[in-house]
Amino acid sequence: MRSVSNDNKVALITGSGKRRVGNAVAAALATRGYAIALHYNASAEEARQTVAQLTEQGVRAAAFQADVADEAQVDRLFDETLSHFGRLDVMVTAAAVWQRTPLEQLTAADVRRQFDVNTLGTLLCCRKAGLIMAGQPEGGVIVTIGDWATRRPYPNYAAYFASKGAIPTLTRCLAVELARRNPNVRVNCILPGPVMLPDDLSQAEVKGAVAGTLLKRAGRPENVAHAVVFLVENDYVTGVCLPVDGGRSIAGTE
């Protein structure tokens, strides 16, 4: 399976248990020779299946459970990863929650949950990973996952977009903070477009999302994974937020 030799390097991808974007990122980094630390919260069986598949393909892989909104569990996640693999070279924050809620029904608890996972969880994981990487001479790479639509939000996701809107700012802050500790630590962000649309969208909404791209087609989780590989391998890019949205952020009105 491996096409590039990175046999001593380790990648941790949060939210990679389910067959979603994080899982595709894990597969892409595995093909580049990375050992894979899969993170999951509730998707234990799916994570186990992915570990088994990767192991059969000759990839060093293990799965670790944690709620990224809980600081103690985040600390445990990274301690277990280091104990198992010995180092950390890449971390991708694909763990996220999103909930379709009309503004009239939105509660403080809804907002807190999305900020706890999407914003606080990203910061806690990046802080822990970044400080580990800063202590390694080779440094490391962090890739956060935001959302293109924080620039042009659509209805019924106010809490989600607010929580994801913080990710580009966190990315730039962390790029500055960690480079001062070790200039070999880089932090970048990907802003996906319609690469895996929510299951609760109507057919009309799906058609609108696709029509709103310049490419007139939906993307795939693998498109995000390819962008992650680029940001990992290009060692002169940091503090950048890269849309992977088929031109969605600059075209259309939907």
Quote the mean pLDDT of the chain.
93
So what's the pLDDT on residue 235?
97
Residue 5 lies in a domain: no
Report the percentage of the chain scoring pLDDT > 70.
Answer: 95
DSSP for 75-123, please give it: HHHHHHHHHHHS---EEEE---------GGG--HHHHHHHIIIIIIHHH
Classify residue 163 by its DSSP letter. Answer: H
What angle (nearest 5°) sits at the alpha carbon of residue 18, between those of residues 13 and 21? 60
Note whether residue 213 is domain-resident: no
Range of the domain at 180: 10-198+221-249
Mean of pLDDT values over 165-174: 98
**pLDDT confidence band for 6 (50 / 70 / 90):** low
Asked if residue 126 belongs to a domain, the reply is yes
Domain count, the chain: 1
Q: Stretch 221-232: mean pLDDT, rounded?
A: 98
pLDDT, residue 250, reads: 87
Query: Which has more pLDDT, 209 or 45?
Result: 45
Asked which of 2-16, 43-57, 180-194 is least confident by mean pLDDT, the reply is 2-16
Q: What is the chain's Cα-based Rg?
A: 17
| 208 is a domain residue | no
- Domain of 182, CATH number, reads 3.40.50.720
Residue 254 lies in a domain: no
Would 210 be classed as within a structural domain? no
Q: Is 3 a member of any domain?
A: no
What's the one-letter identity of residue 43? S
Confidence check: pLDDT of 246 > 60: yes
Smallest Cα–Cα separation from 148: which of 219, 95, 100, 204? 219
pLDDT band of residue 253 (cuts 50, 70, 90) is low
* 61-66 mean pLDDT: 97
Residue 199 has pLDDT above 80, yes or no: no
**Angle, CA of 100, 103 and 106, to the nearest 5°:** 75
Structural domain includes residue 99: yes
Q: Is the pLDDT of residue 2 over 50?
A: no
- Of the pLDDT bands very low, low, confident and very high (cuts 50, 70, 90), residue 62 is very high
| pLDDT, tens digit, 9 for 90 and up, residues 172-181 | 999 999 999 9
Distance CA 190, CA 185 (A): 17
Q: Is 154 one of the catalytic residues?
A: no
Query: Which of 34, 40, 157, 160 is the catalytic position?
Result: 160
